[in-house]
Amino acid sequence: MAKHRKERDSWGEWSLSDKNVYDWSSEEEEPDGRARPIQVLLVKDDHTFELDEVALSRILLAEEVRDREVVAISVAGAFRKGKSFLMDFMLRYMYKQASEDWLGDADEPLTGFSWRGGSERETTGIQVWSEVFLVDKPDGRKVAVLLMDTQGTFDSQSTLRDSATVFALSTMISSMQVYNISQNVQEDDLQHLQVTNTARYLMRAEERERVPIIRHTHHLY
């Protein structure tokens, strides 16, 4: 369900206003109507993956979103290195885009995607923010901006295949992806990127093989 928020003026080359901000909510899952992270890709105990098509459809098929181009922005990288923390600053920017001091005060609570200190992973699979932001491009067109948080790679509970799959999927569907690295770039960071890029290449090759079949099927209807 689309909900309106306080009007925001344009800032720079992009603008975000009251009528251009929508969030999906249901009485069952969001009783207070607040935007929140929605799990769309689940990693199961047997290391298989499940797409929650219903949750994703409710976000992307909302009336004001369904016919627009989607810009998916994601953050990926090693676990426990601040991906969700960085994503929450992106959320803050989107909500306060009209303000030059969008960073806020140093003691202002950082809310949005769940994050915490420690050595245990926080995000699993892929989550998207339930509120989609409609942004004006310089040419006047509006695009739907979707913020996406991903499971950290190579934690103690995941296999190499788990990490490569999540990274490859997020890379394939993102319009822009931030590869989050703490401190200096290490050799293993590049190795991780190579593994996931190889997985992405293989997945795209498999997808290309299926395209003729899909196109042929469409002609039957």
Question: Is 3 inside any structural domain?
Answer: no
Question: Is 4 inside any structural domain?
Answer: no
Question: Is 2 inside any structural domain?
Answer: no
Claim: this prediction has a pTM higher than 0.75: no
- 75-118 pLDDT tens trace: 887 766 667 778 888 888 888 876 777 777 777 766 666 654 44
Question: Is 57 inside any structural domain?
Answer: yes
Question: Is 27 inside any structural domain?
Answer: yes
d(CA 35, CA 26): 11
Question: Is 86 inside any structural domain?
Answer: yes
Question: Is 83 inside any structural domain?
Answer: yes
Question: Is 5 inside any structural domain?
Answer: no
- 20-50 pLDDT tens trace: 444 443 333 454 567 888 889 988 888 888 9
Domain count across the chain: 1
Residue 119: give its domain's CATH number: 3.40.50.300
Query: Which domain covers residue 194, as residue numbers?
Result: 10-218
Q: Which two tokens stand for residue 65?
A: 């979103």
